[in-house]
With several copies, the nearest count.
Chain A
Amino acid sequence: MSTKKAVKQTGRKKAATSAKVRAPVRKKPGSPISVTDEIDFMTRAWMMELEAVERYSTLADAMEEHNNPEVTELFRKLSRIEQLHADQILEEHLSKRPPVLPPGGIRWDAGEEGPETADPGELHYRMQPYHALQIALACEQRACQFFTKIARSAKNTAVRKAAREMAAEEAEHVQLVEDWLKRTPKPDPDWDHDPDPPVQSD
């Protein structure tokens, strides 16, 4: 196993203070998946939203358990927003034949999660709303890129059209989150400062 110094973090004190949340990046936006028709496509879009709903809610729980009320509230809000999106898709596109979730959720390419799903690995207990919005922004951006790609590459025209619509909608969301970010105070440079040691247990 690699023991490269580059990977290594020496010194526990450093370990306690340098746990910065990095800019939430994911290498791929989730590659397009082959969709058969518009219903299939919208079903996936709907599922994507639902996965995001579920994830934000989990993140909110995590932050709540760790006494970070501002970020808890924000993730709850994001979860609600995504739920609205999901409901909207259901109502506008899938009302005739309400879809059934496949077990374990849908498969995204290469085993990745849905493009709009936040990575729990990005969390930090001291994070501030600004960080949470960065995470949300990245999610929306990935979603937008995802739909854009489908809009370009799908063979089915109806799918292309629907994807364009979705991409536009996600672009709006990106804009919304960006605005929100602008209104949100930037985190203090020492936002993750915690002079106390971790708790030991068990």
Chain B
Amino acid sequence: MHDKVKAQGGRGVSIALAGSGGAGVMTAGNMLLKAAAQAGWYGLMVRTSGPQIRGGEAAALLRISAEPVECLDDRFDLVIAIDWQNIHRFADELPLDAGSLMVGDPDQGNPPEVLTQRGTRLAQVPIKKMAKAIPGSWPNMIMLGIAAALVGLPLDAVKSVVEAAYGKKKKELLTPNLAAVEAGFASAQTLPAVPQLAAVEPTQTPRWLLTGNQAAGYGALRGGVRFVAGYPITPATEVLEWLSPALTKVGGTLLQAEDELASINMIIGASFGGVPSLTVTAGPGLALMAEALGLAVAAEVPVVVLDVMRGGPSTGIPAKSEQSDVSIALFGLHGDAPHLVIAPNSIADCLGATQWAVHLAEAMQSPAIVLSDQFFGQTQAVVDRPADMHFIGERAKASAPTEAYKRYALTESGVSPMSIPGTPGGAYTADGLTHNERGVPSSQAADHLAQLDKRERKLLRHDYGDYWAEIDGQGEIAVITFGSCTGPVRDALARAAADGIKVRLVSMRLLAPAQPERLSEALRGVKKVLVVEQNHSGQFHRYLRADFDLPGEVRSLRHPGPLPIHAEEIYRKITEWSLM
């Protein structure tokens, strides 16, 4: 290997492992990430694949770094392909340049033009032949060895992951595959160099390897959720799959509902029973839940709906990320139906944000929608173990209600203590009809207004503390964003900072109720505001215009999925603007 270059610590190295179904590129990618994690690096891995359920083209997209990373990089240093079949289908997701290196198997033909056109170097390794030469081994292990060697990951780290994978169950697979990893590692010595990982000290702070979907599931449990009903939908299903056994362990349960209408009504029923409840879905399912969410607002039943956003509208692009459910989450309910909308801003924050959502929902007896997305949900990442949070779901309960109990009492906070079935004397009827304080249906203007006021008040009076947004940096330019655009924005801001350009970051975790005063405070002195989001119509930007007062000139940087917004685009936009 010639010309070893160290990658920038923060930026790390970016690797894509590609090949057709059966080649095991995801497994190789997982192992690479795990090895890096165990050896002290951070990183993440995105899966991408063709439309075929089996046997389609696939790639594991990794970024490994000495410092925490929250998104893929704008480009790849290295692509290793077991074969190139149909790989052009996700060429968009594999931005390469002259500095990148492709490694292919000469027996599998050449990479498509769309990959070579940017002057990317190509090196050849007879991956399949090498695997054949070691009976019982697989090409993806050769690939793993090559990748590790090229980016400077110690062989031992990789080997120990392989050992852990096969050592116990399938001993006969271990030896040949270890040999394959070694062979791959050795073969890389003669290949052109790619940037190498910056060294890291083995760290003492505990780290986790998990997806945002798992993090959200865990956050729900931490917040106190003990009942979940859901209907499978990509890319949210794994949350249900993770929660199902987990709930059984901690003393709760999960029901697979017949449809999303059932899911949402089931959790409303369960929560009416006093049990903090949650459902998980994606856009089409969220749309189906809109009616019952209105019921939860009117009857004041706390529930949490985790929406793992995917490309829309309609069935759209189910397995790809997009931030296009902002509007429906904020405004998708009929009537005046204020509720909570919360967006995690990193994979790890899927835990915190979901836990917080449970806490808020319970505290305010309100439905809360959590806007995660496919990128967060299905990306595996190495993160520092998130700090424990005190946000536990606890609702105000009417402990000893009397005859005169008013379920919907007009309290100052707007929150009315709730009587839980089983409590003597506290019986009432939860109602989606407009009602008076006792819950009795009423079509009086005064009752309607009083209850609408109260429901608005409880959300506005709550003290959300500093958790409503992540605010960083100084300067007269600010970027406002949310969710999975936060990672690229942070990267872009780091690049701008390196150029001496100061930019403020506001990543909003609490989308609704709007906190205009807090935002104005955060933006004091700002002259230029860039709103960054991953959708077509600027849903977040429009919302900011509608409900906040933005200072100075405001611009919108956005595009729909499936491609993420790259740090480079943001960086360019900022630097250009800062010069004007």
Contact = CB atoms under 8 A, between A and B. Distances in A.
B24 A67 contact: no
Contacts of B49: 199
Nearest to B136: A190
Contacts of B324: none
Given A199-B58, A201-B319, A125 B24 contact: no
Given A67-B83, A194-B21, A194-B22, A199 B27 contact: no
A196 B85 contact: no
Q: Is the interface of B mostly helix, strand, loop or mixed?
A: loop
B21 A195 contact: no
B77 interface: no
B54 A201 contact: no
Contact of B53 (A68, A126, A198): A198
A144 to B, nearest CB: 32
Contacts of A199: 21, 49-54, 56, 58, 319
B55 A195 contact: no
B27 A196 contact: yes
Interface string A187-200: 00010111111111
Nearest to B52: A66
B433 interface: yes
B41 interface: no
B234 A201 contact: yes
A194 B28 CA distance: 12
Interface in B55-69: 55-58
A65 B55 CA distance: 8
From B55, B57, B237, name the one whose CB has the most chain A CB atoms within 10 angstroms: B55
Chain A residues touching B, range: 10 to 19
A91 B408 CA distance: 45
B373 to A, nearest CB: 15
From A69, A197, A198, A200, name the one whose CB has the most chain B CB atoms within 10 angstroms: A200
Contact of B55 (A126, A197, A200, A201): A126
A67 B55 contact: yes
B196 interface: no
A195 B57 CA distance: 14
Contacts of B234: 200-202
A197 B22 CA distance: 9
Contacts, number: 76
Contacts of B237: 200
B481 interface: no
Nearest to B22: A194
A67 B21 contact: yes
A65 B52 contact: yes
B53 A196 contact: no
A69 B50 CA distance: 16
A67 B56 contact: yes
A192 B25 CA distance: 15
A197 B58 CA distance: 11
Contact of B56 (A66, A69, A195, A197): A66
Given A67-B83, A67-B85, A196-B27, A201 B22 contact: no
Given A66-B56, A67-B86, A68-B55, A202 B318 contact: yes
B20 interface: yes
B26 A197 contact: yes
Nearest to A68: B55
A200 B86 CA distance: 18
A67 to B, nearest CB: 4
Interface in B290-325: 315, 318-319
Contacts of B23: 196
B372 interface: no
B227 interface: no
B138 interface: yes
Given A66-B52, A66-B55, A194-B22, A201 B86 contact: no
Contacts of A193: 22, 24, 138
A200 B319 CA distance: 7
A194 B25 CA distance: 10
B538 interface: no
A59 to B, nearest CB: 13
Interface of A: 65-69, 125-126, 190, 192-202
Interface of B: 20-27, 49-58, 83, 85-86, 136, 138, 140, 234-235, 237, 315, 318-319, 433
Given A67-B57, A125-B55, A194-B22, 20 more contacts: A66-B55, A68-B55, A69-B85, A125-B21, A126-B21, A126-B22, A126-B55, A190-B136, A194-B54, A195-B26, A196-B22, A199-B52, A199-B54, A199-B58, A200-B234, A200-B237, A201-B51, A201-B319, A202-B234, A202-B318
22 contacts: A66-B54, A66-B55, A67-B20, A67-B56, A67-B85, A69-B85, A126-B21, A190-B136, A193-B22, A195-B24, A195-B26, A195-B27, A195-B138, A196-B22, A196-B25, A198-B54, A199-B21, A199-B50, A199-B58, A200-B237, A201-B319, A202-B234
